[in-house]
Structure 1
Amino acid sequence: MHGSHRINLLQLCQHENIIRFYGSVESATNHQIYLEYVAGGSLLNKIGCDGSLREGVAQHYFKQLITEMAYIHSLGVVHRDLKPQNILIGHSNLIKIIDFGLASLFRNETTHDEKLLTTYYGTRSYMSPQVYSRLPYRGEPADIWSSAIILIFMLVGNLPWTEASHKDRNCQLWFHGRYNNHSWKNIQNTIFDLLRQLLIYDPEQRATINKKRYDLYLDERIKEVFIEFSNSNSPSSY
């Protein structure tokens, strides 16, 4: 993606959980972007050092992640490369989402109708089945899928599968409801029930963020943060 595209989206997305954009300088040979400094390193490094995160810590980060997603989705923006490498840990464990180079607008700028995306970016292990299979896809459910993979990684320190396809045995077992074969089967029941709603193959059945209630804390009522997605209007192809 061009630097101007990234800058435009960073200027649009002003949120405490998004890296702050301070400005840019462009010359004939390069384009420098000035961003907020975050001292705590990446979520990937934190998980790598600790092996996995305590459930309360993982829930704290996940709450912030879905808050950030609800915000950018309300602006018609999808990130498309959510992963621990793109989440920094700042002061007081405040997460900062970075790297909007692959982000995209998913609503028509004139009519505001949702449009299907047909460019396929991201990191393989975090891609939804539709993105991995290079099918036209809706942006919001793709980000939701990635967030669920991040939650699993935080809790167990491993990815559940290499790719979201029937060629991957672990993913195939998941799609067929054989959950006991996974190394992360002992995730707390309430969170596991949520994962089963977030990691549904069909994006039309996948849970989405309840934008009116995304600020609820994540405990026994974790599922209240999400609602099942229903949309009577089919998005246009893009």
Structure 2
Amino acid sequence: MHPGNVLNYDYTVARYFMFTTVLFGIVGMAIGTLIAFQMAYPNLNYLAGEYATFSRLRPLHTSGVIFGFMLSGIWATWYYIGQRVLKVSMAESRFLMVVGKLHFWLYMLTMVLAVISLFMGVTTSKEYAELEWPLDILVVLVWVLWGVSIFGLIGIRREKTLYISLWYYIATFLGIAMLYLFNNMEVPTYFVAGMGKWWHSVSMYAGTNDALVQWWYG
């Protein structure tokens, strides 16, 4: 880009994530409101059989707000702020543009599968870490794609100074990756011992160790 030229930032992926931020925010908080009323009016637990009970809906509420609303918001801001503080447009790199869109659509696939599995009661029973190991793998892939976007955009930046906001994104990427990986170390029982469904797993940790790791995570 020559001096004086206007840099046209591409906010396509940022808009995608902004839409899902609003969507998951509304849905997640609506479910939270419903389960709050269920605590005061227990009969509301039987609106749709087992699928509307507090125990089925609470993981949907927490996951919808944490992994839906909050993560979408973080990623929406990244795909907006990242370009501006680095003085580079996503459109300048076809590879990073593909990574950004793949990041979004794989994330949406993961969220849809997560909603289905939680509705069906397929969970690890660990708070904020209910997803079984196949979905954990998808979560890791989504996270890796975000990392590629972060460091890829940094790699082609025009602004040589890495502002503090970028270090927060990097710290978020590394910190949550470490938390998620260590807390979700699981043993697939079907493939290891021939027991249970193919998606079923148990924690790699036992007893107090499992509780301590879960406390550290959540």
TM-score by length of 2: 0.30
Larger Rg: 2
More strand by share: 1
TM-score by length of 1: 0.28
More helix by share: 2
